[in-house]
Amino acid sequence: MNDLPSPSAAELKAIVESILFVAEEPLDMDMLARSLGVDLKMVTEAVDALNEECRQRGVRLQRTGSAVQMVTAPEVAPYVERFLGLDEDRSLSQAALETLAIIAYKQPITRMTIEAIRGVNCDQVIASLKARGLVAEVGRAQAQGRPYLFGTTFRFLEYFGLEKPDDLPPLREAEAESED
């Protein structure tokens, strides 16, 4: 691999696209840069350029932190699902949507904090969201008992057609103030 020439910006974009296409999970951009023998800035620029091009196609790039993955465009999801024969019930209960919204906007967050906001036990709802791959344990809080912290996943981004967590619509000010 050391005998490969350094790619141009256009070549690097094509290389990154090919790797993301075959990757089965999100890739860390630092790891991608190291494996390609280029610096992180070059990979970031290639991903940014590829992201712009993908907006006009049937695929999108999703980014969370330093991880990136290629996914199908949300507007074509029903056709892809039909082709794949997916019968999954895509609807979420009101309780699941409320809990998911709390996690999405307040992540990372503990179960106790979620329950304090909702005012009810959330064990089953969180288990359901985890089973659907929409949330995951992302760490441990530095509090007594070191409770799990929950955050959203790449599947969450896919489900709601988002490219990155920052694409969530802003909370209305009254709602944001009442939650603080």
**94-179: same fold as 9-77?**
yes
At 96 the pLDDT is: 92
Angle of the 123-131 helix axis to the 111-118 helix axis, nearest 10? 120
52-102 confidence digits (pLDDT tens): 999 889 999 998 888 999 988 888 878 887 787 765 556 788 999 999 999
Mean pLDDT, range 146-161, rounded to an integer? 91
Topology of domain 9-77, per CATH? Arc Repressor Mutant, subunit A (1.10.10)
Quick one: pLDDT at residue 90? 63
Dist CA 179 CA 134 (whole Å): 22
**Would you state the structure tokens that stand for residue 82, as one six-digit string?**
């039909």
Residue of 35, 104, 37, 33 lying closest to 66 (CA atoms): 33
Number of continuous H segments (helices) and E segments (strands) in the chain: 9, 6
Mean pLDDT of the region 147-166? 90
What is this structure's pTM? 0.61
Q: Dig out the tokens for 76 from the structure.
A: 């074509």
Please report the pLDDT score of residue 173 as a whole number: 57
Domain boundaries, the chain: 9-77, 94-179
Alpha-carbon torsion 68, 70, 76, 77, what sign?
Answer: negative
Per-residue pLDDT at 179 exceeds 60: no
Tell me the per-residue pLDDT of 11-66, one tens digit each, with 9 for 90 and over: 999 999 999 999 988 999 999 999 999 999 999 999 999 999 998 899 999 988 88
SS3 136: strand
Was domain 94-179 assigned CATH 3.40.190.10? Answer: no
**Beta-sheet pairing, 67-72 with 148-152:** unpaired
DSSP 109: E
| Cis omega (within 30 of 0) for bond into 7 | no
pLDDT band with cut points at 50, 70 and 90 for residue 149: very high
State what percent of residues in the chain have pLDDT above 70: 91
